[in-house]
């Protein structure tokens, strides 16, 4: 290294701290710094002090025990141009009102209706997929398009057609999500203020989502109907903000999990056969998946749990310390950024037997078979405490249905190498590997009737 390069490197480190290392290899960074840690690890991501938390007691302290000392901070503020004052970013009475209203949409009976519609979409899309029997497919694109349709059906009780509008909202979701991943760790997101190409496409993506949501809000159903009473107090933007929040929070997270789930099944025909036996034993005579059945598939649900352990779509999320605190003996100063990292937490050798092995069996009957059982806060794919994921039940049901459909309809062949060698991109959600994950889907059984 030349003297100039060394000086530049030192200046960059003084200004940016650990950010360049984190940005270059986010997954490797949190594994190196977080796995094995039993207390917060001090980092510097840009000018502010930051702490990486990857041990159960840390999650418990920040999300539950002393939660009032932590707020949604700068990282969440980065989501505001897209989410506005939606549930992920809002705080105080506005958040409480939305969370309370949304609860109605996620009650068992309302959720069941949305799920029924999502299952129809799944059956219809499985039929279309089967027409391309034997084709090579990139999982991330496939799962993104599928979960966008399922989430729209489940949340808004709307069916996207198979043409331009379905593709437009999917593409808009991808552009918006990509922009958040690219800009999350920049000191300033200049694309918001300058007429750059990336800024323009981000704004166009937001406009497209707003256009479609406006259409859904004309006659609000499901989630939007539950939120409608808030318009009187917070104005019409509440519908836009909450709908975009739920759509973006719900589609890419579920798509990412669907990708890893399908690739795990492709790599493990033994697991696919084990699930197939369970699903075929319980499917009714008409062969249709229904919401009630999804709760009666313990092996399939264990597969979903294991996918979300090793490949948690929300592989990190953030808080800012609003007051000084002490977490597992480490002093956290007011203003520090807290990076809570389920990716590293779910791989802690102190909590899990053979943590890197893909083994859904650990979630069956007696619960995860950790060393004397893992800590309650060792497994938090949906977060914990009052701000835990509101869509957890829906996402679990959708992924269970997806697994049941895949094992009963297709043989899946993995074309991108071993599961353990796949390194996710690690953006604002986990994502798939940059090079994609390719599979061949071959139809194995006569397709079920489509509603």
Q: Which residues contact ligand HEM (rule: CB under 6 A)?
A: 87-88, 99, 151, 245-246, 249-250, 253-254, 257, 312-314, 317, 381-383, 387-391, 394-395
What DSSP letter does each residue of 39-66 carry, written as one string? S-EEEEETTEEEEEE-SHHHHHIIIIIT
Contact 312, 26 (CB under 8 A): no
- Retrieve residue 114's tokens: 């949305």
CB closer to ligand HEM, 23 vs 392: 392
User: Min. distance of Cβ 389 from ligand HEM in angstroms?
Assistant: 3
For ligand HEM, the nearest residue by Cβ is: 391
What DSSP letter does each residue of 293-328 carry, written as one string? HHTT-HHHHHHHHHHHHHS-SS--EEEEESS-EEET
- Taking CA atoms, 262 is separated from 112, 355, 444, in Å, by 24, 20, 15
Query: What's the rounded Cα separation, in Å, for the pair 316 and 344?
Result: 9
User: Min. distance of Cβ 116 from ligand HEM in angstroms?
Assistant: 16
As a whole number of Å, the CA-based R_g of the chain is: 22
| Number of C-beta neighbours around residue 144 at 10 A | 24
User: Min. distance of Cβ 305 from ligand HEM in angstroms?
Assistant: 11
User: Min. distance of Cβ 281 from ligand HEM in angstroms?
Assistant: 26
CB closer to ligand HEM, 175 vs 307: 307
CB closer to ligand HEM, 99 vs 113: 99
CB closer to ligand HEM, 7 vs 388: 388
User: Min. distance of Cβ 184 from ligand HEM in angstroms?
Assistant: 14
User: Min. distance of Cβ 342 from ligand HEM in angstroms?
Assistant: 7
CB closer to ligand HEM, 16 vs 428: 428
Residues in the chain: 451
441: DSSP letter: E
User: Min. distance of Cβ 318 from ligand HEM in angstroms?
Assistant: 7
User: Min. distance of Cβ 368 from ligand HEM in angstroms?
Assistant: 17
Query: What's the rounded Cα separation, in Å, for the pair 149 and 169?
Result: 9
CB closer to ligand HEM, 60 vs 313: 313
CB closer to ligand HEM, 305 vs 411: 305
End-to-end CA distance of the chain: give it in Å, rounded: 65
CB closer to ligand HEM, 16 vs 57: 57
Query: What's the rounded Cα separation, in Å, for the pair 265 and 242?
Result: 34
3-state secondary structure 76-124: HHCCHHHHCCCCCCCCHHHHHHHHHHHHHHCCHHHHHHHHHHHHHHHHH
CB closer to ligand HEM, 315 vs 410: 315
Give Dmax (Cα) for the chain.
75
User: Min. distance of Cβ 101 from ligand HEM in angstroms?
Assistant: 12
């Amino acid at each position: 290294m030349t003297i100039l390069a060394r000086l530049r490197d030192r200046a960059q480190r003084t200004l940016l701290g650990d950010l360049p290392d984190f940005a270059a290899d986010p997954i490797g960074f949190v594994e190196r710094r977080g796995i094995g840690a039993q207390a917060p690890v001090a980092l510097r991501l840009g000018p502010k002090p930051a702490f990486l938390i990857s041990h159960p007691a840390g999650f418990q302290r920040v999300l539950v025990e002393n939660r009032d000392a932590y707020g949604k901070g700068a990282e969440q503020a980065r989501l505001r141009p897209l989410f506005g004052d939606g549930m992920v970013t809002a705080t105080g009475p506005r958040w409480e009102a939305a969370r309370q209203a949304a609860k109605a949409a996620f009650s068992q009976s309302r959720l069941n209706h949305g799920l029924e519609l999502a299952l129809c979409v799944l059956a219809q899309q499985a039929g279309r997929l089967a027409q391309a029997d034997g084709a090579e497919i990139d999982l991330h694109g496939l799962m993104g398009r599928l979960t966008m349709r399922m989430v729209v059906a489940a949340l808004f009780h709307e069916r996207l057609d198979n043409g331009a509008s379905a593709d437009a909202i999917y593409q808009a979701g991808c552009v918006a999500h990509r922009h958040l991943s690219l800009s999350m760790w920049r000191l300033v997101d200049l694309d918001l203020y300058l007429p750059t190409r990336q800024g323009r496409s981000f704004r166009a993506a937001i406009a497209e989502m707003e256009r479609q949501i406006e259409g859904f809000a004309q006659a609000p159903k499901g989630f939007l109907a539950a939120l409608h009473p808030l318009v009187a107090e917070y104005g019409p933007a509440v519908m836009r903000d909450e709908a975009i929040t739920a759509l973006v929070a719900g589609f890419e997270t579920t798509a990412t999990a669907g990708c890893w789930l399908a690739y795990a099944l492709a790599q493990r025909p033994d697991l696919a056969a084990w699930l197939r036996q369970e699903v075929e034993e319980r499917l009714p005579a008409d062969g249709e998946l229904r919401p009630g059945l999804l709760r009666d598939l313990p092996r399939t649900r264990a597969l979903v749990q294991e996918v979300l352990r090793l490949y948690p779509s929300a592989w990190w999320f953030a808080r800012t310390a609003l007051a000084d605190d002490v977490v597992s003996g480490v002093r956290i100063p007011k203003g520090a950024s807290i990076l809570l990292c389920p990716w590293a937490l779910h791989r802690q050798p102190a909590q899990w037997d053979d943590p890197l092995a893909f083994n859904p069996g650990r979630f069956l009957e007696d619960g995860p078979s950790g060393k004397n059982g893992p800590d309650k806060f060792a497994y938090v794919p949906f977060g914990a405490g009052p701000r835990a994921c509101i869509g957890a039940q829906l996402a679990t049901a959708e992924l269970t249905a997806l697994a049941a459909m895949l094992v009963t309809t297709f043989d899946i062949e993995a074309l991108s190498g071993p599961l353990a060698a796949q390194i996710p991109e690690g953006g604002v959600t986990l994502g798939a590997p940059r090079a994609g994950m390719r599979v061949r889907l071959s139809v194995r059984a006569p397709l079920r009737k489509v509603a």
